[in-house]
Structure 1
Amino acid sequence: MLKKVMLSSAFLLALFSLAACGQNNDSKETNKDVHSMTDALDHKVDIPKKPKRIIASYLEDYLVALDEKPVAQWTVGEGKIQHYLQDKLKDIPTINYDMPYEDVVKFEPDLLLIGSNGSLEGGKYKEYSKIAPTYVVKNGDGVTWRDQLEDIGAVLGKEDKAKAVEKDYDQLVSQTKKELKNEIQGKSAVVLWVTNNSAFMVADNRSSGQLIYKELGFEIPQLTKDISKKATADFSQVSLESLSQLDADYIFLVNSDNGAAMFKDPLWSNIPAVKTNRLFEFDGTSSWLYNGPIAYTQMVENIRNVLK
């Protein structure tokens, strides 16, 4: 009888050991499927190694560059999307820019990438993190598209791909500077955006300003320098009277208002770059109003096409 009890005890002990071993293995397998990162708001986030249902509102440029597709793409109201990405995202449904909780739930994401600290006000982070791992990408003043690309690349385990994207871009910029040396050296340029019959000028250290001045090497007109000192956004409003004194050799115009009355004003017609036909126009669906490796690549290609 004692022998039977001992055998039974040994048998039960073996079963418990096997169960514990199985639990440990399950735990290890689970841990292998995620990696932890600390985001821009100091949240420690357990990120799936191979997410399949990503929402990254207004960060789609980076996903496409890294050969990923989101399950939903950014929009502001009906029809307001990032048109320059639609060759890759044309079949992707939209989600409004403020990412309503109910809409996010419907898409059943397994990873949320957030591009702005401000978009999480009102306890949204807590809400989102109940749906899926939620990672806030580097953002704010001084953060470049390269910083964001590398951050997202690390999240997705695609650091090498991010570096390759940067390398290709740098080669394009270098080649453009070489081919357009005579058109760039000693020449000044500005980027203007016209919408609702109002003009806005890009700051010298933001968005396309960073591209044309720091990377391509165009000279900065005095008006741009003045506006940049007070700039709090990529584009700052500028009066037509101020533009009439603009001493830029080139104007790259993002036109979101073809019928703007200002284009018929003599002050506009007498701007030197307008008078000499050195105004190059791109429509409001182009990449000039956005950030990211694809947006910047397309801007460089636009400049090459109009100046070559």
Structure 2
Amino acid sequence: MNNRIIIIAVIIFAGILGFIGFYMSYAGNNSGTTITDMAGRSVSMPADVNKTFSIAGSLTIMLYMIAPEKMLGWNSARNTPENQYVPAEYQSLPVLGGGMNDANYETIIEKNPDVVFIGHGGDNSTINGIQDKFGEIPALDVEGDNNLSDMIPAIKFMGTVLGETNKSDELINFYTKVLNQVNNTVKTIPESEKKKVYYARDDSGLNTFAPGSPQTQLIELCGGINVDQAPVASADGGAMTVSMEMILQWNPDVIITSSPNFYNGVYSNPLWQNINAVKNKQVYLVPQSPFNWFESPPGANTIIGIPWTAEVLYPDKFKNMDLKGLTEEFYSEFYHYNLTDAQTSNILNSSGLTGY
């Protein structure tokens, strides 16, 4: 009898210990941590981040590159050409809006993200206002994600929060590799030999950005001279409309555009015939699937634009750079899509480069 009581007591005690162990394990797996975001705010967040959203387009792209399986949705609707090189499971993610004013806060909150990412220039009053909208859901500010000359801190921060430091390190290594390769060549180009470059953003070709804008960083980084020398207007990030007379006066050696309509019509448009870039067939269309290589938005998506822009401006100086291999590596590792040889050739040849 006594032995039976002892055995029962042992079983009960073991059960209690097991329950306590389970509880402590559960609590430990879900216990929170505190992180300092890139606005210097101390924010409490879960130890494990499995569901996320970003209200900033550039951060959504970085999120997709580092941890696509943790994304809850896109900022805006994506068309068929944009989805051409996106796996089907990510094409179907819902559109939850973006920006401080257009994000669908109610729907985002209903999806119960572990954290949300925002990027608002370190303006803490604005950031705190966004945090109020999300309530108990941690809102983390990320800065520098559109600074193409120094975006490593932003990539590292995203990787840390997402628990994907290996992937963020891979992205940093690729970025550092192409940046160093281009910088090492660009620094040997005399100022007198640098190409004059105009960026035509829209169908008219008359919408552009001034030097110092995140949207035109690739020009200067790759050794070009932005022909538009007007100062950046802080209110609009340097966006401006220029006249045909101004472009004729600037007479760029190279034109880069994000508009297929402008690109397809510029060589037959009489207004542009006297510009050197047009006369010498030096107009190039930015690849834009799944994301723009040059800007729109400026961010980690433009890392692959570093070698592309360098070859556009100085094909002879970068003839030994394996742009095709770099493109396939970037798409496979960070866009999660394995390009065929024909697809890679089409992307590069359609941009105005030849020989791919």
Number of the residue aligned with 1:287: 293
Kindly, what percent of the aligned residue pairs are identical? 18
Q: Given that residues 197 and 260 in structure 1 are in contact (C-alpha distance below 8 angstroms), is that contact kept between their aligned partners in structure 2?
A: no
Structure 2 CA distance for partners of 1:234 and 1:295, relative to 1, 3 Å: farther
Number of the residue aligned with 1:11: none
Number of the residue aligned with 1:127: 133
CA drift of 1:122 comes to 9.2
Structure 2 CA distance for partners of 1:197 and 1:171, relative to 1, 3 Å: same
Structure 2 CA distance for partners of 1:74 and 1:84, relative to 1, 3 Å: same
Number of the residue aligned with 1:64: 64
Number of the residue aligned with 2:114: 110
CA drift of 1:281 comes to 1.9
Aligned AA for 2:93? I
Number of the residue aligned with 1:270: 274
| Residue number among 211, 235, 240 corresponding to 2:218 in the alignment | 211
CA drift of 1:115 comes to 2.1
Structure 2 CA distance for partners of 1:106 and 1:93, relative to 1, 3 Å: same
CA drift of 1:68 comes to 3.5
Aligned AA for 1:255? S
CA RMSD of aligned residues (A): 4.2
Q: Given that residues 35 and 48 in structure 1 are in contact (C-alpha distance below 8 angstroms), is that contact kept between their aligned partners in structure 2?
A: yes
Distance 2:257 2:151 in 1: 22
Distance 1:137 1:242 in 2: 37
Residue correspondences, number: 283
Deviations 1:215-269 (A, max 9, x none): x223x14x33x22455651543322221112243211111164499988654422
Mapping 1:1-308, distance limit 5 Å: 26=24, 29-30=27-28, 33-57=31-55, 58=57, 59-69=59-69, 70-75=71-76, 78-79=77-78, 83=82, 87-88=86-87, 89-97=90-98, 98-116=102-120, 120=126, 123-130=129-136, 132-138=137-143, 144-175=150-181, 186-195=193-202, 197=204, 199-214=206-221, 216-218=222-224, 220-221=225-226, 223-224=227-228, 226-228=229-231, 230=233, 232-233=236-237, 235-255=239-259, 257-258=261-262, 266-282=270-286, 286-288=292-294, 289-298=296-305, 300-301=307-308, 304=311, 305=348, 306=353
CA drift of 1:292 comes to 2.7
Q: Given that residues 287 and 293 in structure 2 are in contact (C-alpha distance below 8 angstroms), is that contact kept between their aligned partners in structure 1?
A: no
Distance 1:123 1:81 in 2: 35
More strand by share: 1
Where structure 1 has 5 or more consecutive residues not aligned to the other structure, the ranges are 1-14
Q: Which 4+ runs in 1 deviate beyond 6 A?
A: 140-143, 177-185, 259-264
Distance 1:183 1:275 in 2: 24
Q: Given that residues 189 and 252 in structure 1 are in contact (C-alpha distance below 8 angstroms), is that contact kept between their aligned partners in structure 2?
A: no
- Pair member with larger Rg: 1
Q: Given that residues 194 and 253 in structure 1 are in contact (C-alpha distance below 8 angstroms), is that contact kept between their aligned partners in structure 2?
A: yes
Where structure 2 has 5 or more consecutive residues not aligned to the other structure, the ranges are 1-12, 312-347
